[in-house]
Amino acid sequence: MEIVSAIEMERDWVKEVKEFDESKMGVQGLLASGVTTIPRIFIHPPENLSDLKPSSMHFEIPVIDLSIANRSKVIDQIKESFSTWGFFQVINHGIPMQDIEDTIKAFKSFHEQPKEIKSEYVWDQKVSYYSNFNIMWSKAVNWKDSLRVFTSPNPPKLETIPSACRKEVMQWDEYMKGLCGTLMELMCEGLGMNTNRLKELSCLDMRKFVCHYYPYCPQPDLTLGLPAHTYRGVLTLLLQNEVSGLQIKYGDEWVEVKPIHGAIIVNVGDLLQIFTNDQFKSVEHRVLANACKESRVSAAVIFNPGKRGESDIYGPLTELLSTENPTLYRNFTIPEILKQGLTDDSSSKAIVDLFRLNCNDNAK
């Protein structure tokens, strides 16, 4: 009887998830319907909820000012931040504050439109509105909605991008491409490489824009905005509004990334950790369910290599390897990653584990 009951409960859970997904209302629509408790499909397992409070150690992730005239100081700060934290916030990056504020406003405006408008973009190939990626295979549904646009190398037709944020999506993509190019040059210089090394690997060429919207949650202790994960790409540049929620793993502690008006958060992806042979760290991060009445909005641009053929080989960069610093990873191709079913850039299954060599391999 217990087995039958468990099967029935699983069947009911799948049915509820499917109904929510097919309703196209998203979490914002669910909240607008007047719910005061979260549906059970949003309740995460206890292991995801046991340590939601940030560290009491008063850690803060590094903040790097790009306006500092001392280039070598900035380079050293980037190298130190990526070696220890895997994250930093960058300020005075040259992007006009008015454009930043208008961008956040436009993204928020899209997500607060009626579902009839947003549902036009549900799971389109290049422009997608959705609540959760791989929703039917998740242990629990996350309390957030998302807009995803593949902006490069083959951008969508402008008319297919939601009119509420069409101009802002493409403008923000250009801003982030420029800023990321600058950061990549500084990173390469800090590693003792040709400043164009990552650009030559086509690391600026494949870009995906993702705007997450985290509305108020009536029971934030029972769910998450995004569970712990790393990004599989090279770099992610993220803008957030003034509502907090992002936490990163620093040692055994979860540290809150406190919003700084106009700052851009930069974090190492799994591929960059591999390229640098573990000199830079891709660390876990997560987003708590939003306990504030004001919605949290974040906009990420994820950078990946654009060269994706079977002959395009990736792995630790040879100029960073030596007898004292042997390779920690085997070479691979992007199609090899995709064949593993690793199609979402954010996941708890890091590709560093997939390609890491064991001690015996290094000894050969």
Express each pLDDT in 32-55 by its tens digit.
Answer: 999 999 999 999 999 999 888 877
Separation CA 287–CA 190 (nearest Å): 30
Nearest in space to 344 (alpha carbons), one of 297, 307, 300: 300
pLDDT one-digit tens code per residue, 241-276: 999 999 999 999 999 999 999 999 999 999 999 999
Name residue, tokens 């029972």: 222
Q: Are 159 and 51 in contact (CB under 8 A)?
A: no
pLDDT at 4 over 50: no
Amino acid letter for position 6: A
pLDDT one-digit tens code per residue, 271-283: 999 999 999 999 9
Q: What is the pTM of this model?
A: 0.93
Query: How is residue 313 written in tokens?
Result: 């080989």
Dihedral sign from CA coordinates of 87, 93, 96, 99: negative
Peptide bond into 155 cis (omega under 30): no
Separation CA 148–CA 129 (nearest Å): 6
- What pLDDT, on the 0 to 100 scale, is given for residue 125? 80
Nearest in space to 203 (alpha carbons), one of 225, 180, 175: 180
Q: What are phi and psi of 230, to 5 degrees?
A: -120, 165
DSSP secondary structure of 94-128: S--HHHHHHHHHHHHHHHTS-HHHHGGGBT-SSEE
Inter-axis angle of helices 97-111 and 166-190, nearest 10: 130
Residue ranges per domain, the chain?
39-354
DSSP secondary structure of 279-328: SS----EEEE-B-SSSPEEEEEEEEE-S--STT--BSS-GGG--SSS---
pLDDT one-digit tens code per residue, 131-155: 887 777 788 999 999 999 999 999 9
pLDDT one-digit tens code per residue, 105-131: 999 999 999 989 998 887 678 999 998
- What pLDDT, on the 0 to 100 scale, is given for residue 363? 46
Separation CA 315–CA 206 (nearest Å): 18
- What pLDDT, on the 0 to 100 scale, is given for residue 357? 94
- What pLDDT, on the 0 to 100 scale, is given for residue 96? 98
Q: Report percent pLDDT > 90 for the chain.
A: 79
- What pLDDT, on the 0 to 100 scale, is given for residue 347? 55
CATH superfamily of 39-354: B-lactam Antibiotic, Isopenicillin N Synthase; Chain (2.60.120.330)
- What pLDDT, on the 0 to 100 scale, is given for residue 73? 98
Q: Are 171 and 103 in contact (CB under 8 A)?
A: yes
- What pLDDT, on the 0 to 100 scale, is given for residue 1? 44
DSSP for residue 210: E
pLDDT one-digit tens code per residue, 322-345: 999 999 999 999 999 888 765 554
Nearest in space to 144 (alpha carbons), one of 136, 133, 152: 133
Least confident of 7-11, 55-59, 116-120, 230-234: 7-11
Helices (H) and strands (E) in the chain, counts: 12, 13
Helix (H) / strand (E) element for 209: namely strand 206-214
- What pLDDT, on the 0 to 100 scale, is given for residue 139? 83
pLDDT one-digit tens code per residue, 170-207: 999 999 999 999 999 999 999 999 999 999 999 999 99
Separation CA 110–CA 169 (nearest Å): 11
